[in-house]
Structure 1
Amino acid sequence: MSPRLTLINRDYTRLWTGQAVSSLGDAVFSTTLVLWVATVLAEGRTWAPAAVSGVLLATGAAVLFVGPLAGVFVDRWDKIATMLRSEVVRGVLVVVLTTVSFLPIDALPIGVWLALVYATVLTLNAASQFFTPARFAVIADLVTGEADRARAAGIAQATSQTAWIIGPPLAAPLLFTAGLQWALLFNALSYAVSYLAIRSIRTLPSTKPAAAPDTASESAPNTTPNTAPDIAPSTASDTAPESARSRSGLLGEFTAGLRFFARSRFLVALVLLAVIGQFGLGALSTLNIFFATDNLHMSAHLYGYIGTAMGLGGIIGALCAGRVVQRIGARRTTWIGLLVSGALLVAYSRQTGFIGGIAVLFVFTVPLTMLNTAMAPLLLAAAAPEYRGRVVAVFYPVTQLASMLAAVLSGWLASSVLRDVAGSVGSLRFGPIDTIFAVSGLFVVASGVYAWRALPGTGSAGQPDAGPGGAEEPGPGPEKATPVPRRRPDAVGHDVT
């Protein structure tokens, strides 16, 4: 009998334990690093905001430039070994920065300190681009069935949200009482815990590449026991020729991964709706502080309550997502979640008080987290085992780029084109920020409509529906998902998906 504290299965529980400790360490580390740069290194300097933004730019650069090629190597290598090596690299990097941080601040020029911080964050996130797709592939083998995969994604989302509720409040006292070194050391120890948890996984059938390009098994790559249910019929038929084309080396394998992604209507639909949704939601993260102080008339020192409300909503949404997916399927959870989230974002744009705004944001985060959770089993089902690393390495950088562009665009609109917008329609008054939020909500609704029409049924990731809104066709034979009876990369790049 499984222990009562087992989540889904024992090996997934071991993997989750490492993630939980590491996510908390990352939350403390990221917050402490930003505070240290802003209040110690750049204290009183006019370039302090730019110095802090450099941390975020280092994170984005790793995702955009390392991520796509990292997927090729992940598909070549043993997944468990890749995760272990990534944790060793990240742990050593943090230990090195911890050792250097014992020096007095005036021992090195400010530029050197900043360079060390940026280089560490960049390299940590570069290593994460190998860890994340490898973990994605391992979970695909450890957890089967759409409902259980949604539960796994939901547990991961809830764990991450909890870490970011607990971690930041610990960071400031730890920095200003114990010092930077101890926050860094805490994160290094969290990587050690994650390493030990991954090493303890015992029952995984195989985490090596599904088929070597030069073996006869290439023509039948879908024989691994736990991966057969993940591949739609149309996906499996394309695997052998793509593997043959990958023999030309790194560039050839990368191109083969792009070709595989582009030929999958399901994957293209997923990434398009994610991009549309990111353009809708990117404004919230960029402009919400200004909306809270101007439209909700709240003091800036109360802004932390918004993060708490959204974190609690995210936990509830993540924990409920598995049950919702089990009842209505991952596809319906995705498009319904987008429609509801978009409508709630429009409603948030009309709020004028602190209590109302907090309440709407709390409710808004519940379906938003549910749809993020539901997309995990959809992505797993659409990715053939030998392409999982490259699928993740395309999907995440594209959505990251969309989020960055949305942040830049919304900030530019609010500070230039729409800066002086003001007016009313009947009893409804509007200004620049609430107008951007309302339009953003409509973008999210549009992505929900697109998901409703474009995503195939959940029975088989590669099979179309009977029609928009129609009944879903079950996949044939063993490729059918579990029956349904009628779940940030952060500043240090740890996987939270």
Structure 2
Amino acid sequence: MTPRLTLINRDYTRLWFGQAVSSVGDAVFSTTLVLWVATVLAKDETWAPMAVSGVLMASSAAVLVIGPLAGVFVDRWDKRATMLLSEAVRGALVALLTVVSFLPTDALPAGVWLALVYATVLLLHAAGQFFSPARFAILADLVTGDADRARAAGIAQATGETAWIIGPPLAAPLLFTAGLQWALLFNAVSYGVSYIAIRAIGTGPPATGGDARGAARKPKGGLRREFTDGLRFFARSRFLVALLLLAVIGQFGIGALSTLNVFFTTDNLHAEAHLYGYVGMAMGIGGITGALCAGRVVQWFGARRSTWISLLVSGVLLVAYSRQSGFLAGVALLFVFTVPLTVLNTAMAPLLLAAAPPDYRGRVMAVFYPVTKLASMLSAVLSGWLAGSVLHGFTGSVGGLSFGPIDTIFAVSGLIVVLSGVYAWLSLPGTPTADEAAADTAGKDTVGTAAAPAHRPPHHERGSIE
């Protein structure tokens, strides 16, 4: 028997391979920059933490500022050409920084080095804001059906998790043995591999009924009008608004983990700080497990039902995690918690494209992703502020259970996620198909105010994918 060398279909496999290599390159690149800034450029300096945070701020600024506008252009342009241009730009940016990095560190002032790093990160993520919605849209042509789209989203999730398990361990040896420039060059080459893989997509008959290359659309108006049309379309879609609310609530409920979990590990789980890496490993393995199971889960329960079930289970498990006091039990529970959380992310992907007609897919993602990114940032800031000020030194007990500041925040976060699951169960409207959403758009005045679409039963054979 000939071994199966394709994932879903040939064109999707090409896209997946390019993105897998590029994801490892991104993980190496991001880890290398943080390590280099912290341990070389700003070594023993009091401003080192601020310098490292600037890398994260540069990436977030690109998402929040460029992301919403990028969707307009993605909807106008050929999707495959947009992806190719984005990879070429990103590869060139990293290659340019690689050339500069061959200079000795003391050849330029620290401020100039930081400016180069921040500018490169900002421009890389700005180009990524065009790539991601274009990839989201082109997958609708490459893969059809809720089950296959959820499976493809699960593969993407698992690949991303794997990249962040493989990439960081590669980054440190490359930096400290070979040097910064070789770690950067690795990422530049990875963009080249992705470019070649994307070029190979659509060279034969399309894998589905659509053109996998993503035909360019003639602009219907100016940038401002198309941007506001996209916002209006999103705002009057009850389904999209409900999904966005769920994502935002989920980010506020779960975002505290990213900020406070290291303190929970040392204070509540009574573990040494050097064991914290195993916490991240458990979440990574849980993410891979959930991503690989997600396609089957969506096939069994449907994307809509999988969404609210995953929210309920994740919320309950987060509350249970907040009550742990042993390291092994905490790590095991965190692994289990990450599985339905990843299924949730994967299940929402088919729902998004089901509600987005082709002409609006770029703008739908350009609204959805920056808003959820902002919610994640606000959650991290809010949880850190609560733990460090309002709840600092807090102790209490209810029914014989004692509470401290961090476990209280985690417990409340879990309850918020549970409530969002109940909301999804009761209020998430039926999934409109892209054709129905387009018909709604065509039948309403885009200048005036439109009523929300009527409730529709779910369509389990259609959907979306990340």
Query: TM-score scaled by structure 1?
Result: 0.86
Contact 2:78-2:217 within 8 A present in 1 as well: no
Q: Is 1:112 the equivalent of 2:115? A: no
1:220 match? none
2:218 match? 212
After superposition, where does 1:226-305 map in structure 2 within 5 Å?
246-247=220-221, 249-305=222-278
Q: Is 1:320 the equivalent of 2:320? A: no
Aligned pair partner of 1:445 in 415, 418, 422: 418
1:46 match? 46
Letter in 2 for 1:338: L
After superposition, where does 1:97-176 map in structure 2 within 5 Å?
97-176=97-176
Higher mean alpha-carbon deviation, 449-458 vs 273-282, is at: 449-458
Structure 1 residues 412 and 35, CA gap change in structure 2 (3 angstroms) = same
Letter in 2 for 1:91: G
Q: What CA distance in whole angstroms lies between the structure 2 residues aligned with 1:407 and 1:20?
A: 28
Q: CA deviation at 1:308?
A: 0.6
Unaligned runs of 5+ residues in structure 1 are 214-245, 464-470, 488-496
Computed over aligned residues only, the root mean square deviation of the Cα atoms, in angstroms, reads: 1.9
Q: CA deviation at 1:212?
A: 3.3
Aligned pair partner of 2:403 in 403, 414, 430: 430
Q: Percent identity?
A: 77
Q: Is 1:368 the equivalent of 2:368? A: no
Q: CA deviation at 1:427?
A: 2.7
Contact 1:458-1:481 within 8 A present in 2 as well: no
Contact 2:77-2:216 within 8 A present in 1 as well: no
Q: CA deviation at 1:482?
A: 5.5
How many pairs are equivalent? 441
Q: CA deviation at 1:116?
A: 0.5
After superposition, where does 1:184-195 map in structure 2 within 5 Å?
184-195=184-195
Q: What CA distance in whole angstroms lies between the structure 1 residues aligned with 2:223 and 2:330?
A: 50
Q: CA deviation at 1:456?
A: 2.3
Q: What CA distance in whole angstroms lies between the structure 2 residues aligned with 1:474 and 1:415?
A: 44
Q: What CA distance in whole angstroms lies between the structure 2 residues aligned with 1:60 and 1:127?
A: 13
Q: Find the residue that maps to 1:133 and give its secondary structure.
A: helix
Letter in 1 for 2:188: A
Structure 1 residues 211 and 76, CA gap change in structure 2 (3 angstroms) = closer
Q: CA deviation at 1:2?
A: 9.2
Letter in 2 for 1:98: T
Query: TM-score scaled by structure 2?
Result: 0.92
Q: CA deviation at 1:293?
A: 0.5
2:90 match? 90
Q: Is 1:310 the equivalent of 2:290? A: no
Q: CA deviation at 1:208?
A: 4.1
Q: What CA distance in whole angstroms lies between the structure 1 residues aligned with 2:359 and 2:78?
A: 11
Per-residue Cα deviation, 1:40-98 (whole angstroms, up to 9, x for no partner): 11111111111111011001100000000000000010000000000000000000000
Q: CA deviation at 1:429?
A: 1.1
Q: What CA distance in whole angstroms lies between the structure 2 residues aligned with 1:450 and 1:30?
A: 37
Q: CA deviation at 1:210?
A: 7.0
Q: Is 1:473 the equivalent of 2:446? A: no
Letter in 2 for 1:212: K
Q: CA deviation at 1:5?
A: 1.5
Unaligned runs of 5+ residues in structure 2 are 438-454
Letter in 2 for 1:179: G
1:345 match? 318
Q: CA deviation at 1:211?
A: 5.2
Q: CA deviation at 1:458?
A: 4.6
Higher mean alpha-carbon deviation, 439-448 vs 390-399, is at: 439-448
Q: Find the residue that maps to 2:255 and give its secondary structure.
A: helix
Q: Find the residue that maps to 1:456 and give its secondary structure.
A: coil
